[in-house]
Amino acid sequence: MQRKRVAVFISGRGSNMSALIAAASKADYPAEISLVLADSPKAAGLDIAKEAGIPAFSVDRKTFPDRATFESRLDEHLTEHAIEIVCLAGFMRILSPEFVERWRSQILNIHPSLLPAFPGLNTHEQAIKAGVKLSGCTVHVVGPGLDDGPIIAQSAVPVHVSDTADTLASRILKAEHVLYPMALRLFASGAVKIEDDRVVLTDAPLENEMAIFSPPLFADQV
Ligand code: GRF
């Protein structure tokens, strides 16, 4: 099996990155985490990646005069490490349409809501304010718009009346740590493909893997 070479872009603690690293440590996983890039030297996930023996670098946005020069440095790292797929994992920068086009159908993102509901910042506050009873997370291929692009997989969790943004975020984060490795496995193996900006399955039973109801949904209903 030829494992796909993956770069993970982070801005902070990198718990989704850690979940991807753990999944990719298994021999039968179709991707390897070959590079981690952070937009700030303060991103705690950089140390975690280095401890795991993964090349990890800060490309500090503040040290570049504009987005184009920042992104060409990202590109250099990606080329140098022969990267085939980029996973955004809590990366707090919006990539330019030019960068997204250069890496068309090769960038995945995880967002902590059931897109297209509640894109952008303050996702959990938005969900609580709207009074939804279900939220969750989405892994999608990055398109030119914000939190936009073909959806690969989603996981749903309940929203409780007593929830704060923090309690909802931590429930969803647990689902993220399951969903992202699963979605990357489907994508890197070629089981899920993007054609004309749409998700195409090469194996119909996979449909069952693309929608996950987190176990607490059922436990809480008993
Ligand atoms: C996650 O909730 C992710 O969905 C969002 O930012 C958070 C990053 O967390 N985009 P971590 O750095 O992966 O722990």
pLDDT tens by residue, 80-105: 999 999 999 999 999 999 999 999 99
Helices 123-130, 165-188: inter-axial angle, 10-degree rounding: 120
Q: What is the mean pLDDT of residues 163-175?
A: 97
How high is the pLDDT of residue 215?
53
Atom 2 of ligand 1, residue of closest alpha carbon: 112
Distance in angstroms between the alpha carbons of the first and the last residue of the chain: 43
What is the whole-number distance in angstroms between the Cα of residue 15 and the centre of ligand 1? 7
- CA-110 nearest atom, ligand 1: 4
Residues in contact with 169: Cβ distance below 8 Å, sequence separation at least 6, in sequence order: 112, 124
Residue type for 138, please? T
What is the whole-number distance in angstroms between the Cα of residue 101 and the centre of ligand 1? 24
Which amino acids bring their CB within 6 angstroms of ligand 1?
Answer: 10, 12-16, 89-90, 110-112, 173, 176
What is the whole-number distance in angstroms between the Cα of residue 207 and the centre of ligand 1? 25
- CA-89 nearest atom, ligand 1: 13
- CA-169 nearest atom, ligand 1: 2
Report pLDDT digits (tens) over 40-92: 999 999 999 999 999 999 999 999 999 999 999 999 999 999 999 999 999 99
Q: 204-211: long-range contacts (C-beta < 8 A, 24 or more apart)?
A: 209/153, 209/182, 210/152, 210/153, 210/154, 210/183, 210/186, 211/153, 211/154, 211/155, 211/156
